[in-house]
């Protein structure tokens, strides 16, 4: 059956309707798409605005910070940066050398090396290294091998290798060795002048002698400078101020004469060994100005090896220890008596050998009795009884004042360190007790340093002036020009020149006719005085059998200038006296002094009478 057309139309109309319906819905979809695109564009624009806003804000912030850094804080930050690149440097300044009066070197800084070994870096066996190094270092190869086996690195083989040895080690090009350069204090005269010069420790600080007392003069004042540092840490020399590494050529010059020092030490050592003594000392002073030409203490130490020495040796006992001078003080008492006009040079005293003072009996040495004896003979024979009688003519208060004028109970104020103050009884005790002036008359009951006794005898030699003993002459350059002179106290007039000349001439008879004959030198007039004093005990009283022998001399009598003192502590033997132990030392020292200073022989003179005036 054939389908009717109307039915087909109906069917097509539905499709057509559907199709139309779809066609009519497209504008709505497109609108949505457009709307979304517009929204996206708006979002992008907003985001761009935000980004640009952030960028602008960041730029403004950066600009503000740059303004703060460059303009507001620029100067401070520049200075801070410069400080971070700069470093404070104080260049090493060698310690000033020490020379004697003739510019002979006594102490000097020299470059040395600390030698380290790092066995783990050796390119040879430990045995080979030990065998190669042992002769150069002065050590046993077996000892070095043991050291190498004890540690793998950081071994100090020698803290002070000389420059020559250091150069030899460098030339060997041995792996595992390290040399660190430093400066070390060197004393070319070894122990010759250690009593005066002293030494410095590992920190380069003086510990004794002038190395200690003259620290400020010996230390060069290095200036602290600021240098820039490169990126690798190296200092930039182009920023160094001109001349910052320059140091002066000044040297500390001493009054000591090394030639005389050597002669004094030799003579002293000989007598100490001969008599088995505990110790000894020698001092030579120019009485005109107080310059010490020689100052020797024995035993002594080598300042190059100070760590091996007994610490008691670091203090020079002629300055740092007290003793009772005994008969060497008698000439000073004679000078006091002459100044006070209680005696005349030709006065005669009766010396029966003993004298009673209060409840004590004072005797002469060896209980000698001299009967009629004049002032010169009292010194010649070292009469204790005669000296007591002289001082008994003087009021104790006046006598005490004179002792204070001489400086007893005071320091000499020398430029050497560790000086001690002498001891004397209080004025009240001295005046109230008759035994005190009596014992003081022959050098007991008080104490002083050997240096102070030399100072006092210097007043007899120079016409009565008390000068200050000193060992520092000043700072001198390589051309001999003096740049610094120490300020010394002005000399104090104690005695008149007429008094001192009389005493010196009396002391001359001690050498020509008395106990000082062992110091005689043909052709030269020498004044002197022996001393054999009991040794005081720290606990009071005196040490049984112990004595200090001494001899002090003045040269030449016709024009007194030099004072020489020799002391020997606790010599052994029955014949150990000032005349036998100390006088020969002084003679040897004076012979050297005459040769060095070219002292002409004395003129012929009439001998001093040995008998008392009628």
CB neighbours (10 Å) of residue 146?
12
State which H helix or E strand residue 182 sits in: strand 177-186
Question: Residue 475 phi/psi, 5° resolution?
Answer: -100, 125
Q: What residues pair up with 292 in beta bridges, in sequence order?
A: 285
Would you say 335 and 460 are in contact if contact means Cβ atoms under 8 Å apart?
A: yes
Tokens representing 177? 């060795």
Would you say 430 and 396 are in contact if contact means Cβ atoms under 8 Å apart?
A: yes
Label each residue of 318-330 as H, E or C.
HHHCCECCHHHHH
State which H helix or E strand residue 398 sits in: helix 396-406
Question: Residue 338 phi/psi, 5° resolution?
Answer: -65, -40
Would you say 568 and 277 are in contact if contact means Cβ atoms under 8 Å apart?
A: yes
Q: Is 433 exposed, middle or buried (0-12, 13-18, 19+ CB in 10 A)?
A: middle
The b/e string for 286-296 (b: 16+ C-beta within 10 A; e otherwise) is bbbbbbbbbbb
Residues identified as active-site: 327
Overall size of the chain counted in residues? 614
Q: What residues pair up with 295 in beta bridges, in sequence order?
A: 283
Q: What residues pair up with 415 in beta bridges, in sequence order?
A: none
Distance between CA 65 and CA 57 in Å, rounded? 12
Distance between CA 294 and CA 144 in Å, rounded? 44
Question: 107 in helix, strand or coil?
Answer: strand
Alpha helix locations (H) across 449-582? Answer: 450-461, 497-512
Q: What residues pair up with 360 in beta bridges, in sequence order?
A: 357
Phi-psi region of 366 (alpha: psi -120 to 50; beta: other; left: phi over 0): left
Would you say 527 and 508 are in contact if contact means Cβ atoms under 8 Å apart?
A: yes
């Amino acid at each position: 059956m054939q389908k009717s057309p109307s039915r087909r139309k109906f069917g097509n109309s539905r499709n057509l309707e559907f199709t139309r319906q779809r066609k009519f819905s497209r504008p709505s979809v497109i609108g949505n798409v457009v709307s979304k695109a517009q929204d996206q564009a708006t979002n992008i624009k907003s985001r761009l605005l935000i980004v640009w806003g952030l960028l602008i804000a960041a730029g403004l912030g950066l600009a503000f910070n740059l303004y703060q850094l460059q303009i507001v804080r620029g100067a401070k930050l520049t200075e801070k940066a410069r400080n971070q690149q700069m470093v404070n440097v104080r260049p090493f300044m060698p310690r000033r050398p020490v020379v004697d009066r003739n510019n002979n070197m006594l102490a000097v800084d020299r470059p040395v090396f600390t030698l380290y070994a790092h066995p783990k870096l050796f390119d040879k066996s430990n045995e080979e290294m030990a065998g190669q190094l042992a002769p150069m270092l002065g050590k046993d190869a077996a000892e070095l091998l043991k050291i190498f086996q004890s540690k793998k690195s950081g071994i100090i083989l020698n803290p002070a290798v000389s420059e020559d040895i250091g150069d030899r080690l460098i030339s060997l090009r041995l792996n595992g060795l390290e040399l660190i350069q430093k400066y070390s204090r060197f004393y070319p005269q070894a122990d010759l002048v250690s009593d005066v010069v002293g030494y410095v420790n590992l920190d380069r600080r003086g510990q004794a002698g002038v190395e200690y007392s003259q620290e400020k003069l010996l230390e060069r004042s290095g200036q602290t400078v600021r240098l820039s540092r490169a990126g690798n840490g190296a200092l930039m020399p182009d920023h160094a101020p001109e001349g910052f590494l320059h140091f002066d050529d000044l040297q500390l010059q001493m009054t000591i004469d090394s030639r005389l020092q050597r002669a004094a030490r030799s003579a002293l050592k000989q007598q100490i060994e001969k008599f088995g003594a505990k110790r000894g000392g020698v001092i030579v002073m120019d009485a005109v100005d107080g310059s010490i030409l020689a100052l020797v203490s024995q035993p002594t130490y080598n300042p190059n090896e100070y760590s091996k020495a007994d610490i008691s040796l670091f203090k020079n006992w002629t300055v740092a220890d007290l003793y009772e001078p005994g008969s060497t003080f008698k000439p000073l008492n004679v000078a006091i008596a002459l100044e006070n006009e209680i005696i005349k040079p030709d006065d005669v005293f009766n010396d029966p050998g003993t004298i009673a003072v209060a409840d004590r009996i004072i005797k002469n040495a060896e209980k000698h009795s001299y009967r009629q004896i004049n002032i010169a003979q009292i010194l010649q024979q070292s009469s204790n009884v005669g000296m007591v009688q002289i001082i008994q003519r003087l009021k104790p208060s006046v006598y005490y004042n004179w002792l204070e004028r001489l400086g007893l109970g005071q320091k000499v104020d020398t430029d050497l360190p560790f000086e001690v103050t002498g001891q004397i009884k209080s004025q009240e005790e001295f005046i109230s007790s008759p035994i005190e002036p009596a014992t003081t008359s022959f050098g007991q009951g008080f104490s002083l340093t050997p240096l102070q006794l030399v100072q006092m005898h210097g007043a007899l030699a120079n016409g009565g002036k008390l000068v200050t003993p000193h060992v520092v002459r000043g700072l001198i350059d390589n051309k001999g020009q003096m740049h610094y002179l120490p300020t010394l106290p002005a000399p104090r007039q104690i005695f008149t020149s007429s008094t001192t000349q009389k005493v010196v001439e009396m002391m001359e008879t001690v050498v020509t006719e008395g106990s000082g004959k062992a110091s005689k030198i043909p052709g030269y007039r020498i004044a002197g005085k022996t001393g054999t004093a009991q040794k005081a005990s720290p606990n009071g009283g005196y040490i049984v059998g112990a004595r200090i022998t001494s001899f002090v001399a003045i040269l030449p009598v016709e024009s007194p200038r030099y004072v020489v003192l020799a002391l020997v502590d606790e010599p052994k033997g029955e014949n150990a006296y000032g005349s036998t132990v100390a006088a020969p030392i002084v003679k040897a020292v004076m012979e050297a002094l005459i040769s060095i200073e070219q002292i002409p022989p004395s003129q012929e003179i009439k001998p001093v009478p040995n008998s008392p005036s009628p």
